[in-house]
A and B are shown apart, each in its own frame.
Chain A
Amino acid sequence: MKSAKATETSVLLEVTSISKSDDVHEVVDKIQQRAQDALVKNLNLDAKITMRFTMALSEVCQNIVEHAGRGGWVAVQTYTWRVRLGGRKVVVIAVADPGIGFRKSLESAPGFQRKDRWDDGQALEETVMRGASRFRDPGRGQGLAGVRRFVGNWDGKLSIRSGSARIAVLPKGDWDEDEPLLEDLPYFPGAQVQITIPERVA
């Protein structure tokens, strides 16, 4: 959540522990009351975004409950960036857990078969880009796909780090020059998810 380039931060949701379904309900209830002002008035975003934003927050929090195997944390904050986006504001959802991570979660699926190339980067691609899930239920795996659509619709960025890799769904605009996939990073057990939505300018 810290950035050398960021100033004027505003906390929408303080660092909050997530370990069960009820925690997700509480976070959703809390953020709904605060998000409308922050997103519509401060970031000039369409009113439609509030529900979508809350949905995305709910989905990434649920990933902790459903897959991490232990609790995690979520925080939501707005920043005004000095360099990137020419001083525009952004809202950031940050989620982290020290759980089993994406690769081990997929490996726990019944009948899982390791591919020729199988590593943290592949696990992230399968989950984020292709909706894979450790559950056989075809209704699973829709949450992150929905989050991906959400950030795409609002020129946002989604990045997920797990194990030794990090995948990013990059904005259509030119405000971010990140790599779509980074591998061989220092190992991080569990997962870090970050969603960034920029202010809309005329």
Chain B
Amino acid sequence: MINHIDVSSMLRKSVCELYSNLVTRPTGAAVRCEIEQELDRIGDRALTVIDFSHVGLLDFSCADEIVAKLLLQYVSTDAPRREVYFVFRGISESHMEAIETVLERHKLALVTQHADGRTRLLGIIGLEERLAWEIISQLGAGAVADIAEATGLSRDAAERMLDTLWRRRLLIRYDDGYVAVGSATTRSEPLRLDA
């Protein structure tokens, strides 16, 4: 199922009912812990929308704690904490600088979704990987052969590319195919990852 986490609510729940700005490292760490507890409750595979719509200011320390440190636990190529995929919504222009800075610092990438449903990648990602992700995103979903054909890659190269994007949690792997993370949140039917 797709879960929705409102970051502003997490802030009010974990730090102070009156705060609307994500500033200071202790605040960021407290909000991340609250998000992690929420994720712990929703099973081993999950697609989660992290919503910044009601967040005022986001500083570098909070972006590092809430975005980078959260992602690092779930996109680790060696031992990810769990199979969790994230879509970030409500990222405003003023949040962007802090988020892009921390993604760059940790060589991470994420999927962000605009109000009109369009998705795009933010952060550090190779040109070929980005292109492949965009093509898969347009396709919505597909098996390795479909994606190899659409991207013009050999089957082996397509498999490697898909595996890389999956490990970075930018694609969801299911049965014999893949779906781009952002596409999954715009499907009319809720996507069940535990199927």
- List chain A positions with a Cβ less than 8 A from chain B: 21-22, 24-25, 28-29, 32, 48, 51-52, 54-55, 58-59, 62, 65-66, 138-140, 142-143, 145-146, 149
CA distance A25 to B69 in the complex (A): 21
Other-chain contact of B68, A25, A58, A139 (Cβ < 8 Å) = A139
Distance in angstroms from B18 CB to nearest chain A CB is 8
Chain B, residues 17-33, CB within 8 Å of chain A (1/0): the string is 00101011111000000
B19 touches A58 (CB 8 A): no
Chain B at the A interface: SS class: helix
Query: Quick check: is B60 within 8 A (CB to CB) of the other chain?
Result: yes
Distance in angstroms from B33 CB to nearest chain A CB is 15
CA distance A149 to B100 in the complex (A): 14
B23 touches A24 (CB 8 A): yes
Closest to A135 in B: B25
B64 touches A58 (CB 8 A): no
B105 touches A21 (CB 8 A): no
Chain A at the B interface: SS class: helix
Other-chain contact of B25, A28, A32, A62, A146 (Cβ < 8 Å) = A62
B59 touches A59 (CB 8 A): yes
Chain B hits for A66, CB < 8 A:
25
Chain A hits for B97, CB < 8 A:
52, 55, 146, 149
CA distance A147 to B82 in the complex (A): 36
A32 touches B57 (CB 8 A): yes
Other-chain contact of B57, A54, A139, A145 (Cβ < 8 Å) = A54
Closest to B21 in A: A28
B94 touches A24 (CB 8 A): no
